[in-house]
Structure 1
Amino acid sequence: MTERPPSEVIAAAATAALQRNRSPNASISEEHDYEKRQSFRRLIDPGIFRPNSRDQALASLKTLLVIANNLLREPDNPKFQQFKPTNDHIKRRLIEPKGTLEYAIALGFRAEVKDFQPYYVFNPRHVTDLHIGATILEEAIDLEERKQERLKRSRAEEKAAAAAAAQNVKLAFLDDRKTRALRDSREKARRNASETHQGPSDVTSDADASPLPEVVMPGVGYSLASSDPDVDPEE
């Protein structure tokens, strides 16, 4: 039997040791993270995408991601630890759209009142949820943007195809009209040529059909002594 290389033996032993030393809490934590990721995904779709327009939903997701990333980048900055629901931008992106405020709460923000002003303040105990929620937001935004890009490209291709089809119809119409005009021109030229080569008409003019004038010879009907042909000199 072939012996395994020492490096493989060491690696296998290390893996086995990790498996033995792995606490039950690690499995529980992984299962919890999986359920949390699935919960965040459901909050996005159908939670946010279904009741809102795609553009509105995408804008809200981006606002949530900015809030989460700011807090992850500067967790001790009080400015990023809370937001006011009365702020115009927050109101338009998180309060008015359906499902978005629920996502902020799932990230770890809770409603509080400070100096008679409403706020949503982050609870540091939910930092793990904040990490998971931010990751799911990035995933959803990337997926939606790629989907919208494909849709935009598909619509552009359909529009170009429709324009090309319309142009082909127009060209076919113009070509057909040009063909008919050329055919009519040739037919007219053929008729003109036929009339030009046709023989003269057999119809006789009135001048040709009239009788020749009668010529009266001098001296007929009267005598040389009389200028009036009706007068008889013997009478």
Structure 2
Amino acid sequence: MEDFRKKLYEDIIIKQISRNNDVETAHKCIETLSRVVNNIIDSPNDERKRRLKEKSKTFQSNICGAQGGVEFLVKIGFRAKVIDFEKFYVLEHPLTDNPDSPEMEKLKVAQEILQDFLKKVKDRAELASKMQAKEKAAEELRRKAVLEKIDEDKERRVAARERLQARRKSQEEQETTINEESNSADDSADTADTTDTQSQPEQFYRAYHSSHYRQPNQKQD
């Protein structure tokens, strides 16, 4: 029986169900197999508990859907069988309430292994869930930090745009003031030129005469 326990645990549970499935799939598979074994142990002579329809949703999802699930059933004595044109996995030999029978002993070994490993899987599932929650929280913090940085960049761009607009407005006001002062100076200069021109005395033109150039002592003819 120890050889059976070792092969069931190492070859099926560890090397197949645990190693080749994700935590959630392995958990569902182990939980379903444990329920099947418990039902048979509780009612060993109930044929309905020893017969599993292959097309059922639970069987397809939790046992066929996990690598090693069907192999586990075969290892503890289930065999594929067609009944009324439907495929079943059946534990054919009837069991008795004798706890010392080899068949019952195998089922109890399987029950013990499944319950022990189910606890380990649950612990791993809880750890994985905590890690996912932690990663989700960290991702949320990263996303929040990115959004805050975007808002800060937006505020900086708005502030920079406002400073640029204020600088341009100040330059425009300065240019307007300079132009006004320049125009005022030009107007003042034009006014001064007009005033100077008007203040100059009028010069009258006198007709040219030769006496203007006659020497004082020159005798006249």
TM-score, length basis structure 1: 0.59
Q: Secondary structure at the match of 2:186?
A: coil
What is the aligned counterpart of 1:121 among 91, 94, 119? 91
2:73 aligned residue: 104
What is the aligned counterpart of 1:171 among 148, 166, 179? 148
2:5 aligned residue: 37
1:149 aligned residue: 126
Q: Secondary structure at the match of 1:76?
A: coil
Q: Identify unmatched segments of 5+ residues in structure 1.
A: 1-31, 222-235
Q: RMSD of the TM alignment (CA)?
A: 4.0
Q: Deviations over 1:57-88 (max 9, x none)?
A: 33222221111000111223232233344555
Which piece of structure 1 moves more, 88-97 or 145-154?
88-97
Instruction: Write the distance in 1 (CA, Å) between the matches of 2:114 and 2:56.
Output: 22
Greater relative contact order (Cα < 8 A, sep 6+): 2
Q: Secondary structure at the match of 2:17?
A: coil
TM-score, length basis structure 2: 0.62
Q: Secondary structure at the match of 2:91?
A: strand
The structure whose residues are more often helix, as a share, is: 2
Q: Secondary structure at the match of 2:16?
A: coil
2:31 aligned residue: 62
Maintained 8 Å contact 2:63/2:69? yes
Structure 2 vs 1, CA of residues 170 and 114 (structure 1 numbering), >3 Å: closer, same or farther?
closer
2:111 aligned residue: 134
Identity %: 19
2:49 aligned residue: 80
Maintained 8 Å contact 2:38/2:111? yes
2:15 aligned residue: 46
User: Is the counterpart of residue 204 in structure 1 residue 182 in structure 2?
Assistant: no
Structure 2 vs 1, CA of residues 102 and 165 (structure 1 numbering), >3 Å: closer, same or farther?
closer
Structure 2 vs 1, CA of residues 66 and 122 (structure 1 numbering), >3 Å: closer, same or farther?
farther
- Please tell me the residue identity of whatever aligns with 2:147: K
Maintained 8 Å contact 1:94/1:101? yes
1:229 aligned residue: none
Maintained 8 Å contact 1:52/1:98? yes
User: Is the counterpart of residue 71 in structure 1 residue 9 in structure 2?
Assistant: no
Structure 2 vs 1, CA of residues 48 and 116 (structure 1 numbering), >3 Å: closer, same or farther?
same
